[in-house]
Chains A and B, each alone.
Chain A
């Protein structure tokens, strides 16, 4: 399903029904997913659409630019150490029209549950998309329509043991890669103190055959620091 799909297209997966029919110089798009429906008329002679995961920060409405993943079990990490863990994250799937480098978003849907949370205090915190994930030490198997995989490189640069319960990702700078089996992101969490960390995405796929999704949260005008998530209200 992920990748460039030829039209006409008819996809029936789990709770998802998606079809695109071509009629002369127009396309009729229909999608139904978990009770939400959308129907669009596209005036174009194009004969393909791109379906791929996008930043999971758009549904039901875009109110946050951060994703928080809370661990289902607490994790301790020793001082001056490095480790790699795997987490899951909720998927939002984008449907694009247009050609490479000039894609235009047509629709976004999700089969994953949406929930929001506050990181920090109401005065100076951030609203973020919330997701709970088990901590895996090896790459887990996930449902490619619902969950993606984050490979998280943990670096504890502090001189103390730290307890890590959650990680915050900045949507500006999210690099999502996909193939037909999986969706992935790679990130590095550098723990600075017991309560503080910096999280940044690595622009590389988990597997060689993965392709990069178009970025809806463009970072072209942002500095490197604006693409990081700085966690000062606990980790």
Chain B
């Protein structure tokens, strides 16, 4: 077979082989370069910065390869731009949401309201951020489910980042009976919290009577804890407080109504 044989327009067999070789070698090199960067930057950058660098390098190399391959195939980029202008209008209408997601992904990368590994609530979906790419954000819920949220939705929704600060506060409201001594209850709770290592000394816990309710005297307990410990602590402490109060003859009040009857 003659390598100079024209296949289509000015495209010869040798040009086609060259283009295929550029494509294969280019993709191989892209893979090797990104793998090399990943291995060498792993200890120097945190995961989301590393992902950003790797993706940036990947898409840059892919763009260079595509340009090179098109040039090897004899397709002029200036012609593509003219055709692209017209096609762009058509594709633009057809891919509004994709472009929206891309732009949102870009702005999310700049604004950085969350990092990979953070526990977040995005538009009512709660989970750990697994990946933030240019089109979508992936969450893993506490139930082990994966959720993919388009970046446009992420960008326009309110985002609650549960772990952006190093400490957070949680609260209990305990309703004790009217005949119980609220001051004693506060003292007992205070002593318990003082013994608990992860209840932060500063900011100090707040314990106070917050409401005189229909059937109970409500005591609010507001506790600061390290972000890594608050959830376990919040699950454990409420029961410990309840048990300790009852050991001191202070009972949690049940709903009750006093009826007075005449005659």
Chain A nearest Cβ from B227, distance in angstroms: 8
* CB <8 Å contact, B197 and A117: no
A60–B167 Cα gap in the complex (Å)? 17
* CB <8 Å contact, A116 and B166: no
8 Å CB interface, B176-190 against A: none
Question: Please, what's the 1-or-0 string for B185-205, where 1 marks a CB less than 8 Å from any CB in chain A?
Answer: 000000000010110111100
* CB <8 Å contact, B167 and A63: no
* CB <8 Å contact, A63 and B201: no
* CB <8 Å contact, A116 and B165: no
Name the residue on B nearest A64 (C-beta). B226
* CB <8 Å contact, A63 and B203: no
A116–B194 Cα gap in the complex (Å)? 10
* CB <8 Å contact, A125 and B166: yes
The verdict on A114 contacting chain B, using a C-beta distance below 8 Å, is yes
A38–B47 Cα gap in the complex (Å)? 36
* CB <8 Å contact, A122 and B167: yes
8 Å CB interface, A56-90 against B: 60-61, 63-64
Residues on B with beta carbons closer than 8 Å to the beta carbon of A126: 166
* CB <8 Å contact, B198 and A118: no
Residues on B with beta carbons closer than 8 Å to the beta carbon of A115: 197, 201
* CB <8 Å contact, B200 and A117: yes
The verdict on B249 contacting chain A, using a C-beta distance below 8 Å, is no
Chain A nearest Cβ from B170, distance in angstroms: 13
Question: Residue A118 contacts which of B164, B166, B195 (CB distance < 8 angstroms)?
Answer: B166
Residues on B with beta carbons closer than 8 Å to the beta carbon of A122: 165-168, 224
A61–B203 Cα gap in the complex (Å)? 20
* CB <8 Å contact, A117 and B228: no
* CB <8 Å contact, A63 and B229: yes
* CB <8 Å contact, A118 and B224: yes
Instruction: Work out how many contacts link A and B, with CB atoms closer than 8 A.
Output: 44
Interface size bucket, B side?
10 to 19
Interface size bucket, A side?
10 to 19
* CB <8 Å contact, B165 and A127: no
* CB <8 Å contact, A116 and B228: no
Residues on B with beta carbons closer than 8 Å to the beta carbon of A123: 164-166
Residues on A with beta carbons closer than 8 Å to the beta carbon of B164: 123
A130–B167 Cα gap in the complex (Å)? 15
A115–B168 Cα gap in the complex (Å)? 16
A114–B167 Cα gap in the complex (Å)? 17
Chain B nearest Cβ from A170, distance in angstroms: 16
* CB <8 Å contact, B226 and A116: yes
A123–B168 Cα gap in the complex (Å)? 10
**Are A63 and B165 CB-contacts (below 8 A) given A116-B197, A116-B201, A117-B200?**
no
* CB <8 Å contact, A118 and B229: no
Looking at A63, A64, A123, A130, the one whose CB has the most chain B CB atoms below 10 A away is A63
Name the residue on B nearest A221 (C-beta). B43
Looking at A114, A122, A125, the one whose CB has the most chain B CB atoms below 10 A away is A122
Chain A nearest Cβ from B31, distance in angstroms: 31
Question: Please, what's the 1-or-0 string for A96-131, where 1 marks a CB less than 8 Å from any CB in chain B?
Answer: 000000000000000001111111001101110010
Given known contacts A60-B197, A116-B198, what 12 new A-B pairs fall within 8 Å (CB)?
A: A63-B228, A113-B195, A117-B202, A118-B202, A118-B203, A119-B202, A123-B164, A125-B166, A125-B167, A126-B166, A127-B167, A127-B226
12 interchain pairs, CB-CB under 8 A: A63-B229, A115-B197, A116-B198, A116-B201, A117-B201, A118-B202, A118-B203, A122-B165, A122-B167, A122-B168, A122-B224, A123-B164
